[in-house]
Structure 1
Amino acid sequence: MALIPHGGGAGRSATMAMPMLTTDNYTVWAIKAQTILDVHTVWEAVAPGDAAVNARKDKMARALLLGALPEDVLLLVSTKLTAREVWDSLKVRIIGADRVHAARLGTLRGEFDRMKMADGEELNVYGGRLAAMAARYANLRETLGDAALVKKLLDTVPDRLFPVVAGIEQFHDMTTMAFDEALGRLRAFDERVRRRGQVGDERGGEQLLMMAAQWAARERRHDGARDNDDGRSLASGSGGNMRRRCYKCGEHGHFRRECPQLGKGPAAEHTLLAGAYVDDDGLL
């Protein structure tokens, strides 16, 4: 079996290569850089604590850091003589000073508090915006946990999703629920509601059209009945009395106000009127 010389070989050097710093990857870069410096046993030059810094380790750490910087940033920190000075300078320039960091974090928190699902916005799109907000928090070395994301999601979805929101709040512990789980439950319920709503709209529209036509025909019949009850004859000249029809009993020869059936109860009147309407247009 081949032996790797002390200090590492080509494979180890390639694996432990420092990542290149960019304008938007400082948080991840700093984690990787610290790990690699620690593997090379030179991280103590950046964070020495109370111990004295070993000059050789300090030079090694500074060289590794400078090799991971783009040219424009390298020119700015090249005058720093120690690894710690290089590290602190990068931290201030990329993240900003403490006051700038606090201001950025406050602005981000305000944006998060004002977030809500827009009209017509897809649930997946809104969930993506919330997840992106968590990434922006991470860039400022802050954590936006699942509990805060779940609460924000349930508080800002439309009213049509209220039943599933109430179910989650009643039967689940929102402090331990994963954000992806809450989003998945809302998506499943939303799809079911949309599917049922589309079928219901088609059937409901046909029923409304039928009912509107029936009521229009019925109103026309009622208007005609009231006109005849006002005393207008259906025909003029001889034989007019025989053609007069009573809308109380259905007999010819008199008007409703002259009908002998008046006062005999609403049941008889309803039956006769119903029969008259059914004979003419089949509608009650």
Structure 2
Amino acid sequence: MSYQVPALTATNYPVWAIKVKSIMDAYGLWGTVEPRALGEEPDAKKSKQALAFLFQAIPEDMVLQMASYTDPKQEGETVDEFATKLSGLASKARGLGYKLEEVDMVKRLLDSMPKSFL
């Protein structure tokens, strides 16, 4: 049996995450993503398969942001770093003539934050 990889959109993260976890678990890949014991190394082949799976499930505009990842568990960014990055993007948008209100910034921050931050 094969499973169709659901595509991540701006509004479907909670459902997408459940589906992706379920499918990756069915393929025996979820163990490369979930927390590991200190010093425990994942199976290299499964790790590459999980990463390839995740690249199929994300929008093309996110692929370049994640291109440097070599491990599907990589998520070393803190909330402060994430907020700083979003603020930098807002500054660039203002430089192009697009005004982003603070309310919009907070909404975008909360909407785009990885589940582990919440």
TM-score, normalisation: structure 2: 0.61
The correspondence of residues 118-267 of structure 1 with structure 2, limited to 5 A, is none
After TM superposition, which residue ranges in structure 1, 4 or more long, deviate above 6 angstroms?
Answer: none
Shift of 1:140: 8.9
On the 8 A contact 1:18/1:67 being kept in 2, the answer is: yes
1:31 aligned onto 2:18: yes
Shift of 1:40: 0.6
Counterpart secondary structure, 1:17 = coil
Distance 2:16 2:79 in 1: 18
2:97 counterpart residue number: none
Residue of structure 2 aligned with 1:81, choices 60, 70, 77: 70
Cα RMSD (Å)? 3.1
Residue of structure 1 aligned with 2:7, choices 15, 20, 24: 20
1:47 counterpart residue number: 34
Counterpart secondary structure, 1:67 = helix
Say how many residue pairs are matched: 87
1:63 aligned onto 2:45: no
Counterpart secondary structure, 2:73 = helix
The correspondence of residues 270-281 of structure 1 with structure 2, limited to 5 A, is none
Distance 1:60 1:66 in 2: 10
Shift of 1:48: 4.5
TM-score, normalisation: structure 1: 0.27
- Bigger fraction of residues in helix: 1
When Rg is computed on C-alpha atoms for both structures, the one with the higher figure is 1
Distance 1:39 1:83 in 2: 16
CA offsets 1:218-239 (integer angstroms, 9 cap, x no match): xxxxxxxxxxxxxxxxxxxxxx
Distance 1:71 1:20 in 2: 10
On the 8 A contact 1:59/1:82 being kept in 2, the answer is: yes
Amino acid at match of 1:23: A
Distance 1:140 1:67 in 2: 18
Distance 1:37 1:140 in 2: 18
Percent of pairs identical after alignment? Answer: 32
Distance 1:35 1:72 in 2: 24
Structure 2: gaps spanning 5 or more residues: 84-102
Structure 1: gaps spanning 5 or more residues: 1-11, 109-135, 142-284
Amino acid at match of 1:22: T
